[in-house]
Structure 1
Amino acid sequence: MSSLLPSLHLSTFLALVPTALIIAHVVPYFYDTHGIRLYPGPFFAKFTDAWLGIVSKNGHRSEVVHAMHQKYGPFVRIAPNHVSIAEPDALGIIYAHGNGALKSRFYDAFVSIRRGVFNTRDRNEHARKRKIVSHIFSQKSVVEFEPQIRLYVNLLIKQWDRLFAAALKGESGTEGEGWNGADGRLWLDCLPWVNYLAFDIVGDLAFGEPFGMIEAAKDMAVVPKKQEDAMQLYGTGAKIPAVEIPAVKILNGRGEYSMSMGVLPGWWRPIVRQFPWYKRGQADVKTLAGIAIMAVSKRLATPTDRVDLLSKLKDSRDGDGNPMSREELTAEALTLLIAGSDTTSNSTCAIIYHLAHNPHVQARLHKELDEQLGTEDETIATIEQVKRLPYLDACINEALRIHSTSSLGLPRVVPEGGLTVLGQFFPEGTVLSVPSYSIHRDTTIWGEDVEAYRPERWFERDQAGIQKTFNPFSMGPRACVGRNLAFLELQIICASLLRRYEYVLENPDHPLQTREGFLRKPLGCRVGIKRRDI
């Protein structure tokens, strides 16, 4: 009889575990503390966060949630305590200044080194950090960064000119470059190149020197083998053991990991971290932090009067006159690296794709560039020049509408007293979001041809409706602080690259393939480029 006890205990345990899990998910559904049981949505999403976790891990969250809105309507329950609202008017309510809504626990999964302005959830701490950071990205301040932006755009054009000249001579390129000159064009995947460009620009601005990706034509960055070495040894003269890593690849892995981890309840996270895929994501988080730790440590060990983002952060003070600690400074520099590289490269790739896919739009943009910039030898556009290019702005905005690099609905927690959104009341603690991907496809605002890339709509449609709905950088007190710099980069990059080259797609019948972590990233864009006669 006693020999049966271990198996009895084991069988009882195996039966109790799934029973407990079912009860833990079913009881809250019927208890319905937030009064959202009647909102429609995927069946499993009503009971468990696992539905959204699986969707996020698969890399197409925005498209899946959009399909749910098309099926169920503007209010969709995408998790037990999360309602997605695909209505433009909801933006100004959920993300408004002074409404008391806070970022959800989703952002805890993005903390590395320490909390920064992006992932801080405490209102007072965020106000303190934003006071330090926001003035650095004012329209007046970002003008100072024009020389660095133009420098690296020029380096990229020199590389493409070199490859183009070699292609015309019939010289064979490397497999990685993937080009030939048989039809008078240089064929390449533009995504790696715009990644190199964005990383070198933000490396210079945030850390004082580029990563050297453009010149090396390679995804690379140097990190310490042990992060503590960089913090302790810089300034001592000792050599820091370091290793070269593929920064862009690591950044992509970190984004997918944090996105999929962020939608899971806190008590799930220690468990899923033991799974191989999530372990690799954790390693990516640590490695990416190492880039910032090493770069900031190196910079601070070498006094300089150079003016850039890091120097401005270092010299800034909060309301009490206190500077950032070294750890806080490093965390903010890491945020600058992530936000300033991936967003710019993703958007630039999408813009090139849509212009190459629509030759008539590209021709009209070429005409504006030729008329407004002239035919002088100066290759790289300036700030003063891009100010007078309205069609360029429309081309950029239309690409940001269709391919918002931040497409998902950013989650906010309803504050004390509740929140009424479009006639629907949500009690304190409910999580709400407005998906940019979906509202950028609202036919009442953008017209019936919402999937078409048509910059002309920016001159034809109701501007009040457009400004209320267009949301590439979020809005309210937690909107992207670097949006002025980001848009300036896109203006200078796109004006310069389109003035210099004409683009065609290798496979015009194939849509732009993407995968979404926190950001929605193109997977590649093979184009044929040809030098223009200007």
Structure 2
Amino acid sequence: MGLVSAAILAYLVSTLWQWYRLSHVPGPFWAAFSKFWMVKESLKGRQPAAIKEVTDKYGSLARIGPNELVTDDPEVLRRMMAVRSVYTRGPWYDAMRFDPTKDNLFSMRDEVAHTKLRAKMAAGYSGKENESMEGTIDAVIARLVNLIETKYISTPNDYRPMDFAQKAQYFTLDIISYLAFGQAFGYLEEDDDVFDYIKITNTFIPIMMIISNVPSLARLLQSRFLRGLMPKESDRLGFGAFIGVAKKVVAERFGPSAKSQPDMLGSFIRHGLTQEEASGEALLQVIAGSDTSASTIRFVMLFILTNPTVYKRLQSEIDNLIASGKISSPVKDSEGRQIPYLQACIKEGLRLWPPASGAFFKEVPVGGDVIDGKFIPAGTQIGSSPIGIHRSKKIFGADAELFRPERWLEADAEHFAQMNSTVDLVFHYGKYQCLGKSVALMEFNKIFVELFRRFDFTIVNPEKPVKIQNAGIWIIEDFWIRICRRDL
């Protein structure tokens, strides 16, 4: 009994100390004593919305766990992620290992190793070393257009609805697999969920994001005793099958007769990635690059189709630029960047529904920090409130909850710069900025032009146009649309 009493006393003292060290930061009362609040909101699929409600109620810096705070201040996030910042990634990232035996660029917490690996990979994401990038995206858009033309055109006598949510992810999966491995996995060609990847990841990633709230549980699952429960390369379908494909393709590129290729994987190899590193990073590209880009494409499309004035203005802008010879066929990335209303629509879509909506906790360095006028001790985990940041009325105006692309055209230069730098945080910042940013923006700059120049779209179920869940990423399903050829 003495040991039991001592254990209970030790637990109570530890709990009270944890509560006390951050008791000056407001937040939901019970969240200060356990991670139940965080796990509960993850299980309900509404953690980003719940975190915004917390920062709205308790202030820009709020407490959501025994050692976890969140902020909706863009300046605090920039300071934490700056190149010379002494903040580091917190244990939250331990759950982001796709292969339980090793880290990838996203899960890596060793700052020196992360910087070195990132430097080796950066060139592969640029158009300088990856000269085929824009042509690859054009080729995959052409496949999407062909799929629509051959299977999903409706007429007065023929009704062929298409799930745009599904096809948007087929599109991004084919692009990123083409860029990562030098060959598309064939989602658009097969018009099918190859390897059951989407089905499996829609189950696996929500679990991974829930576990990220309890990093010790992630480390337990990745231990040699339990890692057999994780996806593995011998699996025939899903996540594990992707691991196997990644390793097979990369092994071929490291073979004795292999030649250097002008793609991402070729760049990674030329810059010194080992075979094991290249396998892990190619896999990361597919997982991280396809879901986030697909989410933005879906949301921008949803907002356009549910706002008739936006739809009409965007399509007119595209038509006028085509008529004046300012848009090529296919549209060039450089041309897409110069289409004002298109860019406003893209920025609004990124802003209202940030594609990666996890908390991304960073660890307060030795010596602590002062945030929002409060001293925060070393070791505290500080995450972001992504929806709170990007729907800030202070930054974006009283109608910040509204999709209104015009705000980007009405803003003066100073206000535009403030809004733009805030939206850029969806790609993170500084030493943690997403390497795939240029790829994603190139996709956005092209796909909407190529679709709206050719087709007219109607939402099939206006009373409930789409199903949306959150699991750190957005799981978006049943976005059914009717597509007709335009009479030009």
2: CA distance, partners of 1:355 / 1:347? 12
Match of 2:363 in 1: 413
Match of 1:81 in 2: 67
What is the one-letter code of the residue matched to 1:464? A
1: CA distance, partners of 2:221 / 2:112? 32
1:398 CA displacement:
0.4
**1:128 is aligned to 2:109:** no
What is the one-letter code of the residue matched to 1:254? F
What is the one-letter code of the residue matched to 2:364? V
2: CA distance, partners of 1:39 / 1:104? 19
Alpha-carbon deviations, 1:106-141, whole Å to 9, x = none? 111112342122111111101100110112223545
Match of 1:389 in 2: 339
Alpha-carbon deviations, 1:139-197, whole Å to 9, x = none? 545664111100010111111111245x43845xxxxxxxx2xxxxx422101111111
SS in structure 1 at match of 2:216:
coil
What is the one-letter code of the residue matched to 1:110? M
Match of 2:155 in 1: 168
- Please, which of 343, 350, 353 is the counterpart of residue 403 of structure 1? 353
What is the one-letter code of the residue matched to 1:35? R
- Please, which of 103, 126, 132 is the counterpart of residue 115 of structure 1? 103
Structure 1 residues 25 and 526: CA distance shift in structure 2, 3 A: farther
SS in structure 2 at match of 1:66:
helix
Match of 2:261 in 1: 306
1: CA distance, partners of 2:213 / 2:265? 32
329-338 or 48-57: bigger deviation? 48-57
Alpha-carbon deviations, 1:64-92, whole Å to 9, x = none? 11122223222221111011112233222
1:449 CA displacement:
1.2
Structure 1 residues 358 and 279: CA distance shift in structure 2, 3 A: farther
Larger Rg: 1
- TM-score (norm: length of structure 2): 0.89
- Please, which of 390, 413, 420 is the counterpart of residue 440 of structure 1? 390
Structure 1 residues 373 and 16: CA distance shift in structure 2, 3 A: farther
SS in structure 2 at match of 1:98:
coil
Matched residue count:
474
Identity percentage of aligned residues: 27
1:257 CA displacement:
2.2
2: CA distance, partners of 1:425 / 1:438? 22
Alpha-carbon contact 2:124-2:263 (below 8 Å) kept: no
SS in structure 1 at match of 2:247:
helix
2: CA distance, partners of 1:467 / 1:249? 35
Match of 1:374 in 2: 323
Structure 1 residues 202 and 435: CA distance shift in structure 2, 3 A: same
**1:333 is aligned to 2:320:** no
Alpha-carbon contact 2:364-2:380 (below 8 Å) kept: yes
Alpha-carbon contact 1:207-1:310 (below 8 Å) kept: yes
In structure 2, list runs of 5 or more residues that go unmatched: none
Structure 1 residues 515 and 300: CA distance shift in structure 2, 3 A: farther
Alpha-carbon contact 2:166-2:477 (below 8 Å) kept: no
Alpha-carbon deviations, 1:495-518, whole Å to 9, x = none? 211222222222334375322223
Alpha-carbon contact 1:409-1:434 (below 8 Å) kept: yes
409-418 or 367-376: bigger deviation? 367-376
**1:529 is aligned to 2:486:** no
**1:99 is aligned to 2:53:** no
2: CA distance, partners of 1:48 / 1:271? 21
1: CA distance, partners of 2:481 / 2:360? 33
What is the one-letter code of the residue matched to 1:168? T
Match of 2:136 in 1: 148
Match of 1:350 in 2: 299
Match of 2:164 in 1: 190
Alpha-carbon contact 1:372-1:385 (below 8 Å) kept: no
1:363 CA displacement:
1.1
RMSD: 3.0
Structure 1 residues 271 and 251: CA distance shift in structure 2, 3 A: closer
- Please, which of 492, 506, 509 is the counterpart of residue 446 of structure 2? 492
SS in structure 1 at match of 2:193:
coil
Alpha-carbon deviations, 1:330-355, whole Å to 9, x = none? 01111111122111111111111111
189-198 or 88-97: bigger deviation? 88-97
1:207 CA displacement:
0.9
**1:57 is aligned to 2:7:** no
2: CA distance, partners of 1:48 / 1:288? 36
Alpha-carbon contact 1:206-1:308 (below 8 Å) kept: yes
What is the one-letter code of the residue matched to 1:104? G
330-339 or 250-259: bigger deviation? 250-259
Structure 1 residues 291 and 71: CA distance shift in structure 2, 3 A: farther
1:299 CA displacement:
4.5
- Please, which of 473, 478, 486 is the counterpart of residue 519 of structure 1? 473
- TM-score (norm: length of structure 1): 0.81
1:526 CA displacement:
1.6
SS in structure 2 at match of 1:248:
helix
